[in-house]
């Protein structure tokens, strides 16, 4: 699943990907898709006839796709609850999953808030991150080496 902020972005990305990869099938789901076409897109994605679903937050809640292996946030969400709901489309019922986020400079404050929330014990963000798999540990820098004063003998 690839989440976009709006219908226009989802449509444009759908057109680009469909033209670039004509042998692949891409679904499209957003609020401006007519109900019949929306049902067809959901059914095709559920039955895996469509491998990638380009969507807006209309697909972030209330839908259960148990085999989603990867969620991509092409546009970063507007708030933390939306982040949780989007991320929750993968790694369901104990299955593994992957989450990829593209973060623009303007999204950095929310991104930092979400990353800090992951560290809060018992938080919804931490539980969501736990389902997606452990976040990579940050490597700690080793302490600086002490410089030994060189002695010169005369």
- Domain CATH code at residue 52: 3.40.50.300
Q: How far apart are the first and last CA of the chain?
A: 73
What does the pLDDT read at residue 143?
A: 57
What does the pLDDT read at residue 135?
A: 43
Query: What share of the chain has pLDDT > 90, as a percent?
Result: 62
Weakest-pLDDT range from 66-75, 107-116, 127-136:
127-136
150 is a domain residue: no
- What pLDDT band is residue 123 in, cutting at 50, 70 and 90? low
What is the spatial distance between Cα 152 and Cα 68, in angstroms, rounded to a whole number? Answer: 67
CB atoms within 10 A of CB 44: 16
144 is a domain residue: no
Cα–Cα distances (Å) from 115 to 58, 78, 94, 136, 141, in that order, read: 24, 15, 22, 12, 20
Any idea what the Cα angle at residue 91 is, between residues 87 and 95, rounded to 5°? 175
In this prediction the pTM is: 0.76
Q: Is residue 99 predicted with pLDDT exceeding 70?
A: yes
**Would you list the DSSP string of 109-152?**
HHHHHHHHHHTSTT-HHHHHHHHH-PPPPPPPPPPPPPPPPP--
153 is a domain residue: no
148 is a domain residue: no
Q: What's the mean pLDDT when you consider all of the chain?
A: 84
105 is a domain residue: yes
What is the spatial distance between Cα 131 and Cα 43, in angstroms, rounded to a whole number? Answer: 25
110 is a domain residue: yes
What is the spatial distance between Cα 69 and Cα 98, in angstroms, rounded to a whole number? Answer: 6
Q: Is residue 96 predicted with pLDDT exceeding 60?
A: yes
Q: What domain range is 62 assigned to? A: 2-132
Give the chain's length. 154
What is the spatial distance between Cα 39 and Cα 26, in angstroms, rounded to a whole number? Answer: 14
- What pLDDT band is residue 82 in, cutting at 50, 70 and 90? very high
Overall domain count for the chain: 1
Q: Is residue 105 predicted with pLDDT exceeding 80?
A: yes
CB atoms within 10 A of CB 128: 21
């Amino acid at each position: 699943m690839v989440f976009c902020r709006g219908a226009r972005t989802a449509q444009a990305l759908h057109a680009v990907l469909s033209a670039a990869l004509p042998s692949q099938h891409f679904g499209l789901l957003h609020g401006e898709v007519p109900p019949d076409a929306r049902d067809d897109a959901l059914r095709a994605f559920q039955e895996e006839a469509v491998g990638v679903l380009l969507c807006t937050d209309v697909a972030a809640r209330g839908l259960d796709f148990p085999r989603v292996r990867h969620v991509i946030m092409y546009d970063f969400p507007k708030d933390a609850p939306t982040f949780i709901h989007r991320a929750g489309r993968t790694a369901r019922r104990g299955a593994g999953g992957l989450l990829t986020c593209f973060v623009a400079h303007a999204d950095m404050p929310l991104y930092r808030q979400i990353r800090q929330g992951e560290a809060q014990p018992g938080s919804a963000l931490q539980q969501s991150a736990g389902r997606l798999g452990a976040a990579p540990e940050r490597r700690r820098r080793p302490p600086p080496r002490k410089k030994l004063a060189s002695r010169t003998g005369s």
